[in-house]
Amino acid sequence: MSLSTKTLSLRLRPMTEADLECVLAVEEAAYAFPWSRQIFSDCLKVDYSCWVGELSAAIVAHAVMGIAVGECQIFNLCVHPQWQGRGIGRSLLHHLLQVARQHGAKTAFLEVRVSNSIALALYRSEGFCEMALRRGYYPAAQGREDAMVMALELTGSPSVPSLLTEEEGGKGQTYP
């Protein structure tokens, strides 16, 4: 299991406008070119599937995904650098894929910086395949950086392994 259940209890819940200050703090700590508050606000307004991951009520991760026409697109999956390498990103990815399946998505897509070897390894280990290279997709310190487009077929495959349990009252999800 990639998440240390002895020391961490990750709670996933839908993101709200009230979370954006904390979400931005995580985003800015993790990325040299972070999303703006307006981008997150717009994602909430258009009803994308937006989630936060909390440890002891502190937001340490977030994700944004669109679902339409039998596909999902993972736009952003971010874990605060202090909490990376503990299975939080994998747990959040599992949750996104479960939500996508529940909404009828048959394929998941995402883009990732070619320099992000940790994320690439995560996505490959979860069965994502490299589909294409988008040249100059991301801003970078020295010009632009390529993005790897990856995809995962969600149909005909077993359910994504999940540690999800319903919380009392049905609000959010908790990873023990």
Q: Which residues are designated catalytic?
A: 111, 123
Do residues 159 and 101 touch, judged by C-beta distance below 8 A? Answer: yes
116 is in an annotated binding site: yes
The full 3-state SS of the chain, as one line of letters, equals: CCCCCCCCCEEEEECCHHHHHHHHHHHHHHCCCCCCHHHHHHHHHCCCEEEEEEECCEEEEEEEEEEECCEEEEEEEEECHHHCCCCHHHHHHHHHHHHHHHCCCCEEEEEEECCCHHHHHHHHHCCCEEEEEEEEEEEECCEEEEEEEEEEECCCCCCCCCCCEECHHHCCEEEC
Task: Could you list the residues known to form a binding site, using ranges.
Answer: 116
Task: Could you list the residues known to form a binding site for acetyl-CoA, using ranges.
Answer: 116
